Structures are given as structure tokens and as C-alpha cells.
A and B are shown apart, each in its own frame.
Chain A
Amino acid sequence: MGDGHSKEDIKKHIKLYIGIFIALLIGTVLTVAAAYVDLGHKANIALALFIASVKAFLVAGFFMHLTTEKKTIYTILVCTVIFFIGLMALTIMAHYDVPGAGH
């Protein structure tokens, strides 16, 4: 939250934190509930990962203050994201490289 660290700001943040905490608990219940609904294998995986990503965004964005951080941290994380995507892309390419797989 960068410079928003006055006592008044912190008090506002605390309300936000509690809201996010409740959202995360609801997200957990939704994840479990969604797994019991048969949407087809791929849709189940996509939905679970989508909910997990939303929860991850809430934790990283607000608990870890990433929505209002300094540029240096964003630079580091952009690099991390690029490398992470590269890693997953290599994994997927490796899969399609196996004869007879990936169809």
C-alpha cells in the first residue's frame, strides 16, 4: 500500500482484509462444491483453476499489497511470470512431442 500507511489508512485496510478473508473462505467452499458437480473433466479442471486464480489474486493483491507496490517489485514479477509461462510452455511442448500423445 506504498504510502497509504497512516493510522487512518490502516484502519480502512483492516476492513478490506476481513472482507477478503471472507471471500477466500467462500472461494474454498466453492472450489469443493464445484468438484462435486460433473461438468466434464476439462471444465471441472478449468473451473477449479479459475477459482484458485481468483483466490491467489486476492491474497497477492491485497494481503501482499501487490495492487499498490513499487515499480521494482513489478519488474521482478513480470520477469517471473515470463519465466513461469516459458516453463509451462516447455512442459506442454514436451507433451506434444511424444509420438502418439497429445491428441
Chain B
Amino acid sequence: MDVPYTTKPRSDTGLYNAKLGIWLFLASEVMLFGALFSSYILLRVNALEGTWPHGLLNIPIGTFNTAVLISSSITVVMAWASLKLGKFNHFKIYQGLTILCALAFMVIKSVEYKDKFTHYEVWFNDHEKKSIRGHIEVPGEEGNPWFMTHKKLAERKIETIKIHPDPKVTVASGKEAHGGAEAHDGHGDHPPVQEIKVADIKRLSAFVPAHSTYFAIYFTLTALHALHVMGGALVMAYLWGPGSKMWKTDPERFTNRIEVSGLFWHFVDLVWIFLFPVLYLL
């Protein structure tokens, strides 16, 4: 039995079925991301004054990744347009570029995540002393440790650690903040390395979800978005490779598949268009 309405529009909806399906799915996706955005708003407006961090993400990298995703949005629509013009070779190129953009986005995002997992904030038992952000050296660990916590330090009976505090940098909106990823650029003065007694540490955390509400919602939103990027890339890779055989047997249906996967991809781009300013810049 043939699947009905893969190319012909249904008379009642005026659409081929997959198109109606993807739009219903995207509507549900709007609510999924909407719920998380509303959590972000609630967390942020109710945060105690001065506790919402600014400038902890790398803006140049984030901007570049935005451009990567926007580029993939034009290539995906060009892939569809190429099929409409009957140019299968062009389709292969544009669809391939889209998949490469998706991979580039994921690689860049992974580098950003890694930076966060190896970057620390230390709070002290002495409340007068401000917390320090920077990279740490822990005895028995080579280089920058991942996911270190004060509990792990205590369990290993480590007595002192070294911290390389981040230089002071000026971040978006003219606010001055200690450190952040922008500090990696090497701007500003590098404060001297400090030795810290573990006994003086109240809390030590990498910039992981447990660090603060900001990072909890940052990782929730960006990881869910990254899952969408991966899912989209898998589907597009299938349609670029084995799935493209359908072009020979049923070109119109194949073109519709590309349109539908493209609609999903544009949605993923749309979500990022909001995530980028909200998480990186504001």
C-alpha cells in the first residue's frame, strides 16, 4: 500500500501530509523551548541583585557559531531550490555544506563546553573575601582538571591548590567582570598565581550546571538545542546519502522530504537566534 498524500495536497488541508506533520511538530517544539525560556525569565527576574553573571561566555565564538548556523540555513533552502530546478548535483553540494555547517557548530559548541568544564570559581569560608575565578592546578592532576569540586579535593586529602586568576575584562554592556571566557584572549593584566589552602575553601566548582542557576539554564537550553542540531544533521545526512536514491524513483516526494527536513532545520536556527543574545549578550 502506498503512503497517501506524499506529493499531492489533500483537499481539506491543502497540504501534502508530511508538511502538515512537520508544522504540528514544530508547534509542539515552540512550546517545549517556550517552557524553558519562561523558566529562564523566571530564574533571571527573581535572581538576587548582582548575582546574575555577565560576560562568562565567549562572545566572538558565539557570534561565529551564529553565522555558521545562519549559513546552514541558506544552504538548506538552496538544496531544496536546486531540486526544484532539477539540479541534483547542486543539491548534493548544498546539502553537504549544510551537514558540514552542522558539524562545525557542534565542534565549536564542544570546545565552548570544554572551556566551561575546566574553568573554576572558588568561594572562601571568609565571607569578606571575594570569590576568585580562574584555572586551577591540583596535585596529582595533569594540566587543567575537569569537573573538580571541593568535595573531591577533601576526599583526596589535598591540602593546597594553585589558582591562575582570570584577568579583569570589560564585557558587553560596559559592565566589568572578573574573567570569563573572553579573558583567554589575553587582554588585561594577568594577576599572579595564588596558592589556596583547601581548608579555607567553602566551595569550588567548575562552570557546570551546578555552578549557578545561570549555568543550569544555560546548559539545559544549549544542550537541548545541540540535540536538535545532531538530530537534524543525522536526518540530512541520510537524505544526502542513501536516502537520495529516491530522487530517481520519486523526485517530487524526495523534494518534499528535503523541504520538510529544511523546515525543521530553520526552526533549529530560529531557536538559536533567540538563545544567542539571551545567553551570551544580555
- Listed in ascending order, the chain A residues whose CB lies under 8 Å from chain B are 5, 7, 10-11, 13-14, 17-18, 20-21, 24-25, 28-29, 31-32, 35-36, 38, 41, 44-45, 48-49, 51-52, 55-56, 59-60, 63-64, 70-73, 76-77, 79-80, 83-84, 87-88, 90-92, 94-95, 98, 101
With contacts A21-B74, A31-B281, A48-B282 known, what are 10 further pairs, Cβ within 8 A?
A: A17-B81, A28-B276, A36-B174, A48-B277, A48-B281, A59-B270, A60-B270, A73-B20, A90-B38, A101-B46
Residue of A nearest to B60 (CB): A32
- From B29-37, B98-106, B152-160, give the one contacting chain A: B29-37
A-contacting residues of B (Cβ < 8 Å)?
Answer: 9, 13-15, 19-20, 23-24, 27, 30-31, 34-35, 38, 41-42, 45-46, 59, 63, 66-67, 70-71, 73-74, 76-78, 81, 84-86, 172-174, 262-263, 266-267, 269-270, 273-274, 276-278, 281-282
Asked if A31 and B30 make an inter-chain contact with CB atoms under 8 angstroms apart, the answer reads: no
Classify the secondary structure of B's interface with A. helix
Closest chain-B Cβ to A18's Cβ sits at a distance in Å of 7
Whether B78 lies near A95 (C-beta < 8 A) is no
CB atoms of A17 and B24 under 8 A apart: no
**A102 → chain B, closest Cβ, in Å?**
8
> Are B67 and A28 touching (Cβ within 8 A)?
yes
Contact of B173 among A13, A18, A38 (CB under 8 A): A38
Q: How far is the CB of A50 from chain B (nearest CB, A)?
A: 10
18 inter-chain pairs at a CB distance below 8 angstroms, sorted by A residue, are A11-B85, A21-B71, A24-B70, A25-B70, A28-B67, A32-B281, A35-B173, A41-B173, A48-B278, A63-B73, A63-B262, A72-B14, A72-B20, A73-B15, A88-B34, A90-B38, A95-B41, A101-B46
Contact in complex: A63, B77 (CB < 8 Å): yes
- Name A32's contact: one of B31, B63, B71, B267 (CB within 8 Å): B63
Report yes or no: B81 in contact with A83, Cβ–Cβ below 8 A.
no
